[in-house]
Amino acid sequence: MKINPKQIEKMARKMGIEAKPIDATEVIIKTPGKEIVISNPQVSRVNMMGQDTWQVSGDVSERESAPAEKFTDDDVKMVVQQTGASDDEARSALEETNGDIAEAILRLKK
């Protein structure tokens, strides 16, 4: 039994399902500790009665993800404001304390 793709598309539209192809060159899914990389992807955004889902296929590989920053630029600013230290000194203190803002402030105030 041969199925006509045009008929399937027409039936899907009648049921409120709309698929749009997305022109993508790479898809990266980030998980704790690794990234799933999909090269040469075929990506579609499927909307079914107002709910979006994504269909992705392609060449899959995995790689280790870069470690997440333990502090933000706002954390650095707060340490600078509280201690009068330079940005570099504040970053250094935050790195030494694994992002513990209070500990970094205390170290710089000594």
Question: Which token pair is 99?
Answer: 């992002």
pTM of the entire structure? 0.53
**Residue 96 DSSP symbol:** H
Is the confidence at residue 2, as pLDDT, over 80? no
Whether the Cβ atoms of residue 28 and residue 3 lie closer than 8 Å to each other? no
SS3 42: strand
Residue 15: the pLDDT is 87
Whether the Cβ atoms of residue 107 and residue 93 lie closer than 8 Å to each other? yes
Domains of the chain: 5-64 (2.20.70.30), 73-109 (1.10.8)
Residue 12: the pLDDT is 83
Tens-place pLDDT, residues 17-76: 888 999 999 999 998 889 999 999 999 999 988 899 999 999 999 998 877 678 899 999
Residue with tokens 């790479």: 26
